[in-house]
Amino acid sequence: MDTKRLDLNLLVTLETLLVEQNVTKAAARLNLSQPAVSAQLNRLRHEFDDPLLIPAQRGMTPTAKAMELLDPLRQALDQVRATVVSHRNFDPAEAKLTVSIACTDYLQAVVVKPLVV
């Protein structure tokens, strides 16, 4: 598997599919269409060289490889989520950023100058 080319969003889809064990329910949870999640599942199957989820009478059954992936996948995604959430607080007064604003002279005089001062 070429991890440099791997779409990391597919891992979120895989986690959801393994929990829901149903493409339609996973799609609803991910706010995606069922065909989009099916396409992502096909890409995941190709990347992992495993069916991952096999159609069953009700929903889908994860393969042994898929079940092996679930805990490490959850841990990795939880770490990513924790990292992203911990850096969400943004205080513009404390920020050390340079911002470029492109606008007309009129907007600069009426809108931008009062904001910058």
Please name the fold of domain 9-86.
Arc Repressor Mutant, subunit A (1.10.10)
Residues pairing with 86 in the sheet: none
> pLDDT per residue over 37-85, tens digit each?
999 999 999 999 999 999 999 899 999 999 999 999 999 999 998 888 7
pTM across the whole model: 0.71
**Can you tell me the distance from the alpha carbon of 89 to that of 84, in angstroms, rounded to the nearest whole number?**
10
In the chain, where the domains are located: 9-86
pLDDT of 97 reads 82
Q: Please name which of 33, 34, 31, 39 lies closest in space to residue 10, comparing C-alpha atoms.
A: 39
